[in-house]
Structure formats: C-alpha cells, structure tokens
Amino acid sequence: MSNEKSPGAEVHDLDAGTFYEEVHSFEFWFHAVEGYLAGTEGGHRPDLVEEALDEERRQRLISALCNYCVGETAALEGSSGLIAIAPNRTTKIFLATQVADEGRHLEVFTRRLSDLGVTDPEAEVERRASPSLQLFRRHLLELVAGKDWEAALFAQNVILESLEFVVFRSHMADADPVTASVLEAVIKDERRHIGFGENELGRRLREAPHRRARLGQVRRDMDHLVLDTLAESARSLGLPRSEHEQLGRQYMESVERLGLA
Ligand SMILES: [Fe+2]
Ligand SMILES: [Fe+2]
C-alpha cells in the first residue's frame, strides 16, 4: 500500500494506482465492514425483537434462507477457488476478503434458520434448494476448475452477485426486522463484490475486447438458470408477478452495465 496517502484519506481523492491498491486490501475491507458489523450478533443489530411470524410466512422465510445458503456456498467455494487462478496479488487479496464475507453470509443465514426452529439446516437446505440454483453452482465451479478467470469471475461477481443483490434488496423491503437487519449488512458486502467484478472485467475487456464474446457466451449459458431461480425465489417469497418481473429487469440491467446485452 502506498505510504503517500494520509490517514483517513477519502478513497475517491486518491490517484488511480493508489486507489486500486487501497480498495484491494484487508485494511480497506476492515474499515468498510466495521461500520456495519461492529456490535452485531448473528449478523444483526442485537437490540431487535423477533416479530411473531404466522406459519405460512415462517415457511416462506425458511425456503428463501435455504436458497440463500446455496448461493452463499457457491460464492464461498467460487471465490476461494478463484484465488488460485487470479492473475495478480491485488485480485488475490480482494478475493481473500470476499471469502471472509461469503463465509460470514453462510454463517448468518444458517444461524437465522436455527432461530426459526430448523434443527438440521444442512438437511433443510438439501430438501428445499432450487434445482436451478444448484445447477448454477455446479456450472460456476466448472468454470473455476477450468481456470477460466474472466468467465468464472463474470459468473460469480456479476451474474450471481447481481441475482443475490436484487433478491436480497427486494426481500429486505418487507422482511421481519431481524431478517431485514441481516440482509442490510449482507447487501453492503455484495455491492462491494459486484464493484470488484465490474472494475476487473471492465479493465480486461478494454485491454482485450475479444474477451467480450466469451462472456456473452457465459451469459447465454447462465441467464436461463438465473431467471428460473428468480421465478422460484419470487414464488417462495410470495411476490406478486409485477414485482417478480421487476426483479428480472433489475438483474438484466445490472449485467448489461458491462455492455454484454
Ligand atoms: Fe454473499
Ligand atoms: Fe458476494
């Protein structure tokens, strides 16, 4: 890290090189997360009182959390595998911070399942997980195993993260207070992960525009799994059709920011 930056300097005031080193560091990560994780318990503010949920709402929440656990497990396995094929120190260090985030997400969602009376979370996840999301997880891990850096990073830090981001944000809007507080902090982390993916891929596409075709192919392979997962999530959250369609549009917009229509 550069010694030239003054303590507490705003990252936006830094030159491009220092900025790049700064945001790909554990120090940046720690300062980012301590603001919203310090003092939390189970990933949420400790002063919150559990709202009584009727059985239908409780079941919906359990199904949603089971799918979140699959997504977070995919991201945990994906980001840890990506470290081995990341092209340089800064990307490896960022991914190490992401591994910590994804492990935390899996932990707090599993803890929430326990809060809701689920005694064997692994078995419950197995029973309720969306088949499309499980397939997505397998495809992502195949891209990582194939050492396909851009494709795997795109599948994980743009496609999967965008899917999680739109679903979590929509869920947070009408979740019980404890779940909403857990989701609020997770969303902040996912934003950082999407930012990293867009920055890294944007730079690599500018350096070598031919990579765009490969990412377009990955998108075509994965989009239907994402849209099926969104449909299944919308059903399990009991969302009206208009809101489900809006989620699909938000996901598309997020992925298209890289110009991969
Ligand atoms: Fe996550
Ligand atoms: Fe993430």
DSSP string, 55-91: HHHHHHHHHHHHHHHHHHHHHHHHHHHHHHH-SSHHH
Q: At how many degrees (to 10) do helices 26-37 and 177-207 cross? A: 160
Question: Given this model, what pLDDT does residue 86 score?
Answer: 97
Q: Find the 100 Cα to ligand 2 centroid distance in Å.
A: 10
Q: Find the 246 Cα to ligand 2 centroid distance in Å.
A: 21
Cα 212 → chain centroid: 22
- The ligand with the least distance to the CA atom of 104 is 1
Question: Given this model, what pLDDT does residue 5 score?
Answer: 46
- The ligand with the least distance to the CA atom of 156 is 2
Q: Find the 224 Cα to ligand 1 centroid distance in Å.
A: 21
Q: Find the 193 Cα to ligand 1 centroid distance in Å.
A: 8
Q: For residue 18, give both structure tokens.
A: 């220092």
Each residue's pLDDT, cut to its tens digit, for the chain (261 residues) gives 343 444 445 656 667 778 888 889 999 999 999 999 999 999 999 999 899 999 999 999 999 999 999 999 999 999 999 999 999 999 999 999 999 999 999 999 999 999 999 999 999 999 999 999 999 999 999 999 999 999 999 999 999 999 999 999 999 998 999 999 999 999 999 999 999 999 999 999 999 989 999 999 999 999 899 999 988 888 877 888 888 888 888 888 878 887 765
CA-CA-CA-CA torsion sign (35, 36, 41, 46): positive
Q: Find the 144 Cα to ligand 1 centroid distance in Å.
A: 17
What predicted TM-score, i.e. pTM, was given to this entire model? 0.91
Q: Find the 157 Cα to ligand 2 centroid distance in Å.
A: 7
Q: Find the 102 Cα to ligand 1 centroid distance in Å.
A: 4
Question: Given this model, what pLDDT does residue 3 score?
Answer: 39
Question: Given this model, what pLDDT does residue 7 score?
Answer: 47
Question: Given this model, what pLDDT does residue 137 score?
Answer: 97
User: What stretch of H or E contains 148?
Assistant: none
